[in-house]
C-alpha cells in the first residue's frame, strides 16, 4: 500500500485542482445575456430611432450589437443578410452600434452609417462598410474613403460631411453604446434572438443559421 501512496496523493491533488478550476471557470463565466421585458418595452417607445430591416410582425427578431471594424462582425454581415432573404417575413433584424475602443476607426464608421441614415441610407452604408472593411480599416485617414462611399451610394456628400461630425449623430452612437453596456455587453458581435443572447461559440454562419431556423420553427408566423 505504501508504494502506491504517492500516486494516490497525486491523483487526489489533481482531482481537487480540476474541481477548483471548474468552479473558478463557472464563477468567472458571465451569465447569459437577455433583454428583459422592461428593457424591450423601453426600446419599443423609441422604435423610430432603431435601425430595423424586416417586418414589424416577424415572429423572430435578430438583434445585433456590432462594431464596423470588428472582423467577426464583418464575417457575419453577409450571412445575416442572406438569412433575411431566406426567412423573409419570418425574420427582422435590428442593428445597434457598439464600437470598441481598441478599434481605431470603429466609432467614426458608426458615425458614417448614422450620417448616411439621415439621408435614408443607413443599411446601404452598413452593408458597404462591412463589405469594404479590410480596405478602410487599414487606412490612416478613413474620411476620404467614407466620403467616397457616400458618393457611391448617391448621397449628398457635402451634407454627409457635415452630418458625420454633428452632435446628433455622435449622440445616437453613444446612446447605443450605453444601452449595450446596460445589458452587460462587452464584446462584438453580441447577437440576441428574441431577446436571448446567442452563445458566443455559436456565432458562425452555420450555427447562427441553425439557431434562427430553430427559433422560426418554435414561433411560426400567424
- Segments making up each domain of the chain, as ranges: 1-30, 37-218
Whole-structure pTM value:
0.81
Averaged pLDDT of the chain: 86
Instruction: Tell me the pLDDT band of 79, cut-offs 50, 70 and 90.
Output: very high
User: Is the predicted pLDDT of residue 16 greater than 50, yes or no?
Assistant: no
- CATH-assigned architecture of domain 37-218: 3-Layer(aba) Sandwich (3.40)
Q: Phi then psi for 60, rounded to 5 degrees? A: -125, 130
The pLDDT of residue 64: 98
Q: In angstroms, rounded to a whole number, what is the distance separating the alpha carbons of residues 151 and 145?
A: 10
- Tell me the β-bridge partners of 51: 95
Report, as an integer, the average pLDDT of 161-168: 98
Q: Residue 208: count other Cβ atoms within 10 Å of its Cβ.
A: 20
pLDDT in tens, 17-60: 434 443 333 334 445 687 665 555 455 545 567 999 999 999 99
pLDDT tens for 104-148 read 999 999 999 999 999 999 999 999 999 999 999 999 999 999 999
Over residues 61-80, mean pLDDT: 98
pLDDT at residue 17, as a whole number? 45
Share of the chain above pLDDT 90, in %: 76
Q: Is 112 exposed, middle or buried (0-12, 13-18, 19+ CB in 10 A)?
A: buried
Please give the average per-residue pLDDT across 79-87, as a whole number: 97
Round to whole Å and give the CA distance between 123 and 37: 27
Amino acid at each position: 500500500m505504501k508504494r502506491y501512496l504517492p500516486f494516490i496523493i497525486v491523483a487526489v491533488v489533481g482531482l481537487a485542482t480540476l474541481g477548483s478550476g471548474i468552479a473558478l471557470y463557472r464563477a468567472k463565466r458571465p451569465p447569459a445575456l437577455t433583454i428583459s421585458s422592461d428593457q424591450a418595452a423601453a426600446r419599443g417607445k423609441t422604435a423610430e430611432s432603431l435601425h430595423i430591416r424586416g417586418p414589424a410582425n416577424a415572429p423572430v427578431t435578430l438583434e445585433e450589437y456590432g462594431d464596423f471594424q470588428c472582423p467577426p462582425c464583418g464575417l457575419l454581415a453577409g450571412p445575416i443578410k442572406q438569412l433575411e432573404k431566406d426567412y423573409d417575413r419570418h425574420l427582422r433584424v435590428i442593428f445597434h452600434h457598439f464600437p470598441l475602443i481598441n478599434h481605431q476607426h470603429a466609432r467614426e464608421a458608426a458615425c458614417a452609417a448614422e450620417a448616411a441614415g439621415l439621408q435614408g441610407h443607413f443599411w446601404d452604408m452598413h452593408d458597404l462598410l462591412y463589405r469594404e472593411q479590410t480596405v478602410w480599416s487599414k487606412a490612416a485617414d478613413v474620411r476620404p474613403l467614407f466620403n467616397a462611399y457616400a458618393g457611391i451610394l448617391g448621397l449628398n456628400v457635402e451634407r454627409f460631411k457635415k452630418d458625420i461630425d454633428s452632435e446628433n449623430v455622435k449622440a445616437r452612437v453613444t446612446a447605443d453604446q450605453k444601452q449595450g453596456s446596460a445589458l452587460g455587453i462587452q464584446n462584438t458581435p453580441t447577437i440576441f434572438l428574441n431577446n436571448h443572447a446567442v452563445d458566443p461559440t455559436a456565432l458562425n454562419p452555420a450555427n447562427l443559421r441553425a439557431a434562427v431556423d430553430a427559433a422560426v420553427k418554435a414561433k411560426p408566423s400567424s
